Amino acid sequence: MNHFLDIHTTAPADLRHMIDHAQSMKQARLGRTKAAPDDEQPLKGHMVALIFEKPSTRTRVSFDVGVRQMGGETMVLSGQDMQLGHGETIGDTARVLSRYVDLIMIRTFDEAVLQEMAECATVPVINGLTDRSHPCQIMADMMTFEEKKGSIKGKKVVWVGDGNNVFASFLHAAEQFEFSLTFSGPQQLDPDRDYVDRAREKGVDFTIQRDPWRAVPEADLIVADTWVSMHDAQSTRERRHNLLRAYQVNDDLMAAAGEQALFMHCLPAHRGEEVTSSVMDGPQSVIFDEAENRLHAQKAVMRWCLGV
């Protein structure tokens, strides 16, 4: 049974297989309407539970559409619907769901919820996002980069902003896909020290450069994310804006990187904060290709999990 819990806990060969499979499935759908079924129907007869403790647009829609295109059925549940971890333990919920469905995707806050779900479920579990990582997003990002530029191995990736959960998954990906990674952000928002130590132990080419203008030259990819979460208090928002104002990705910063650099953002974005509209809508931006590829990458992840 294959759980998909994190990039660094999945073998590089399996990650490569999923990326290649995602690309071939995307090509096979060219010219079709969105609801048209895939030629192959590997999820026919399968039920997939999609659990959301956190609100979602791309994760919810891409997983739901992906299951349907592959012939399966979805059951979309919120944490509130299920009283997840309140009226019943996570483990017992996992055991019960395993009697009803063939695959569980969960988007939650606490990493421990994901881990307990996977430990107790008797069907595969997919990490749709936690406060510590977002591996499905990074699979779409790797797919998108390679569509545009070829293999990401040996390329230079620069993250500008907050060392958050999406950055953590980029750090995991640097190990598995063998690219160099630079973090450019304030010390107060440095990435998780355990993840950094692990990356360095594994030989990842990882650096911290506080000055974004010194970090971006000759980058192949620049990545940003929101400065604030929807759950942050106003005081936290103000503090983060003050810390991160110097790290906005704008036309001047992209020019310093060079014409070869792509720009990515997992969305939703706050236009005019972490990135300007001119960059988001500019020729180096691949943010909407990246969003679309969530669908194709996750279809490949689900097929790998189920062995279909």
Task: Give the tens place of pLDDT for each residue, 129-148.
Answer: 999 999 999 999 999 999 99
- DSSP 8-state assignment for residue 187: G
For the chain (308 residues), the mean pLDDT of every run of 10, in chain order, is: 96 98 98 97 98 94 98 92 80 96 97 97 98 97 98 98 98 98 97 96 98 98 91 81 97 98 98 98 98 98 98
Q: In angstroms, rounded to a whole number, what is the distance separating the alpha carbons of residues 79 and 109?
A: 11
Q: What is the C-alpha separation between 261 and 50, in angstroms, rounded?
A: 35
Which residues on neighbouring strands pair with residue 51, listed in sequence order? 77, 106
Q: How far apart are CA 44 and CA 42, in angstroms?
A: 6
Look at residue 231 in the predicted model and tell me its pLDDT.
Answer: 67
Residue entry with tokens 């130590």: 197
Quickly tell me which residue has 């048209």 as its tokens: 36
Which pLDDT belongs to residue 170? 98
Residues 115-126: pLDDT tens digits? 999 999 999 999
Q: What does the angle CA 91 – CA 173 – CA 242 come to, to the nearest 5 degrees? A: 90
- In this structure, the number of other CB atoms found within 10 A of the CB of residue 230 comes to 8
Catalytic positions:
107, 134, 137, 225, 266, 294
In whole angstroms, give the CA distance from residue 308 to residue 305.
8
- What pLDDT, on a 0 to 100 scale, did the predictor assign at position 85? 67
Q: How far apart are CA 130 and CA 98, in angstroms?
A: 21
